[in-house]
Structures are given as structure tokens and as C-alpha cells.
Amino acid sequence: MRLAAPVLRQLLTAAAIGVLVFVLMRVIPGDVVDVLGIEGDLSEQEQQALRAELGLDAGWWVQFLRWVGGTLRGDLGLSLRYNRPVAEMIGYALPHTLRLAALALGLGLALGIAAAAVAAARPHGIWPLLVQALNVWSIALPTFCVGLAAILVFSLWLGWLPVRGQLLMPVLVLGIDIAGQIAKPLHEELKEILATPFIRAARAKGLGPGAIVLGHVLPNAAGVLSSVSGLILAGLISGALTMEVLFGLPGLGSLAFQAIAGRDWTVLQSVVLLFALGVIVANLLADLAHRLADPRVR
């Protein structure tokens, strides 16, 4: 019951986003018939006929209701440009984006948590410096620049062809960025926790370091993680889009970009709605994880 209110609110947000996106798309000048018209050498008359055929001649209110009705039934409609089911195109692109995001998130979490944990355990080595370096890296260097630099370095000087079209580089770039975002706050939190009385008591009781980490340290760390998760997710989505375009990978980013260039509203609406839903779901999940992991919040 306590979760119902935020979930409802997020759903309303999602609905409102739908309207917003729909209106936004119509504000952009030019429509898909203009695009098809260029490529197919259509005369004015033929373009009018095509608009009628695609249903673009109805008032946008009508179009919106049609789209909502279809979406609620699970029918995302046809791409205005390619006459292919939108669901099919998204179905092809989504797994690619999810894979990129999941791998990047996994790498980032693993690297960030590991770095923070080791740095907390060995405060006199180079690890705290590494954490600091990671932090500065993620603040100061946008993933766009790092990606470009990676393309330059790896394709030019090391000759590992091709860099574009492969998943390794984007995952590394995004992963290190995420690691930088979580390493420092986590490190701070871990240092505080390790200094608390109850940890010292646990050590005195004879609990091994592994048990201490798992049983006491990480649950508290979950709080820190979920508080930065909003930022991380926003960055991950933006980052995945940029990486897709930069490295020429298939995915929702490329799909959205093509849809904007081609004025393909039906595709774009669904993609943007999907993004927004994704952010909402991720935030809810993070919130849930936080509540579960951190006893203080309950």
C-alpha cells in the first residue's frame, strides 16, 4: 500500500509524457511525407494522397486518440516511413540497448564497488588515489570525449580494427564512467561504517572480514548506491544513446535518431515512451532495493 501512491504517480507521469511527446513531435516542421517525397520524387498531389493514406490528414487530437487506443491494446502501430510494425523494430533494437546498458552497469558496479571496498580496507595504498582518480574522470570527462579518444587510440595507433560496431569500447567507456560515479561516495560511506562501534564489536566477536562485509557493510552501502542511482540511470540512458550513435551500434538510440530525422512519429512516440517508462521502472526498483536493503528506511 505504501508503494501504491508513488507507482500511481509515476504511471500518471508516463501518461503525461505520452501527451507531451505527441505534441512535441507535431511541433517539429516537416512530416514523413516530406521525407518520402524527396526520395520518391512525389508531386504535390501525390503527397496529399499519401498523407491521407497514412492518416496524417486527421487532426492531431484524433491521431493521438488512435495511438493511445492502439497502445493500450498492445498495438504500437506501423512505422510511418517503412510500414513495418513499430513493435518489431523496437523488438530488434531494445535487446541491443539493454545489453549495452546492462554490461556497462555491471562493469561499473563491479569496478566501483571493488575499488571502494579495497580502498576502504587498505587506506594507505594507491587504492584511495584510484578512487579519487575515477571520480575526477567521471566528473570531468564526458563519455562522448572518452569514446572519441578510444576510437582514435585504438583504431589508429593500436590498429585494432574496427572499433566502431563493436560492443567492447562503449561498455568500457560507460562502465568506467559509472564506476567513477559510485566509487567515491561509496568509499566515504564505507570509511564511516568501518569506523562505527558496531563494526568494531563485530570484529571483536570474531566475525571474519567476509561476513562483516556482507552482513553489515554492504547493506548500508546500498543506501548510498540507491541515492546516486537516479543520476546513474539518467547518465546510462544518455550515455547509451550517445555511444550507439558514436560507435554505430543498433539500438534504441539509433532508432530514435533515425525516427527524428525521418519524422517517423509512430516509432519515436513509442521509443520515447519506452525510455520514460524505463527510467520510472528503474527508479522504482532502486527505491525498492533501498527499502529492502536498508533496515533504517523501513
Q: Facing residues of 85 across strands?
A: 78
Which residues from 195-254 bind other proteins, rule CB under 8 A?
231, 234, 237-238, 241-242, 245, 248, 250, 254
Is 46 an interacting residue with respect to other proteins (CB under 8 A)? yes
The correct pick among 63, 79, 220, 270 for binding other proteins (CB under 8 A) is 79
Is 51 an interacting residue with respect to other proteins (CB under 8 A)? no
Say how far apart CA 167 and CA 29 lie, in whole Å: 35
The C-alpha cell 504511471 sits at: 11
Burial class (CB in 10 A: 0-12, 13-18, 19+), 141: middle
Is 77 an interacting residue with respect to other proteins (CB under 8 A)? no
For CA atoms 27, 32, 33, 38, give the dihedral sign.
positive
Toward other proteins, which CB reaches closer, 123 or 248?
248
Q: Could you tell me which of 76, 101, 70 has the C-alpha nearest to residue 90?
A: 76
The correct pick among 114, 139, 195, 214 for binding other proteins (CB under 8 A) is 139
Say how far apart CA 225 and CA 81 lie, in whole Å: 42
Say how far apart CA 51 and CA 32 lie, in whole Å: 9
Is 148 an interacting residue with respect to other proteins (CB under 8 A)? yes
Residue type, 259: A
Q: Could you tell me which of 286, 287, 289, 296 has the C-alpha nearest to residue 193?
A: 296
The correct pick among 185, 207, 213, 289 for binding other proteins (CB under 8 A) is 185
- What is the closest distance, in whole angstroms, from the C-beta atom of residue 157 to other proteins in the complex? 9
The correct pick among 1, 38, 72, 158 for binding other proteins (CB under 8 A) is 38
Is 255 an interacting residue with respect to other proteins (CB under 8 A)? yes
Is 258 an interacting residue with respect to other proteins (CB under 8 A)? yes
3-state secondary structure of 85: strand
Is 140 an interacting residue with respect to other proteins (CB under 8 A)? yes
Q: Facing residues of 78 across strands?
A: 85
- What is the closest distance, in whole angstroms, from the C-beta atom of residue 268 to other proteins in the complex? 8
Toward other proteins, which CB reaches closer, 55 or 142?
142
Asked whether 225 and 186 are in contact (CB, 8 A), the reply is: yes
Contacts of 223 (CB under 8 A, 6+ apart): 189, 290, 293, 294, 296, 297
Toward other proteins, which CB reaches closer, 53 or 125?
53
Which residues from 150-169 bind other proteins, rule CB under 8 A?
151-152, 155-156, 161-165
- What is the closest distance, in whole angstroms, from the C-beta atom of residue 62 to other proteins in the complex? 21
Estimate to the nearest angstrom the gap between the alpha carbon of 243 and the chain centroid.
11
Toward other proteins, which CB reaches closer, 180 or 202?
180
Is 40 an interacting residue with respect to other proteins (CB under 8 A)? yes
- What is the closest distance, in whole angstroms, from the C-beta atom of residue 10 to other proteins in the complex? 9
Which residues from 269-298 bind other proteins, rule CB under 8 A?
272, 275-276, 279-280
Say how far apart CA 86 and CA 11 lie, in whole Å: 22
The correct pick among 170, 220, 263, 266 for binding other proteins (CB under 8 A) is 263
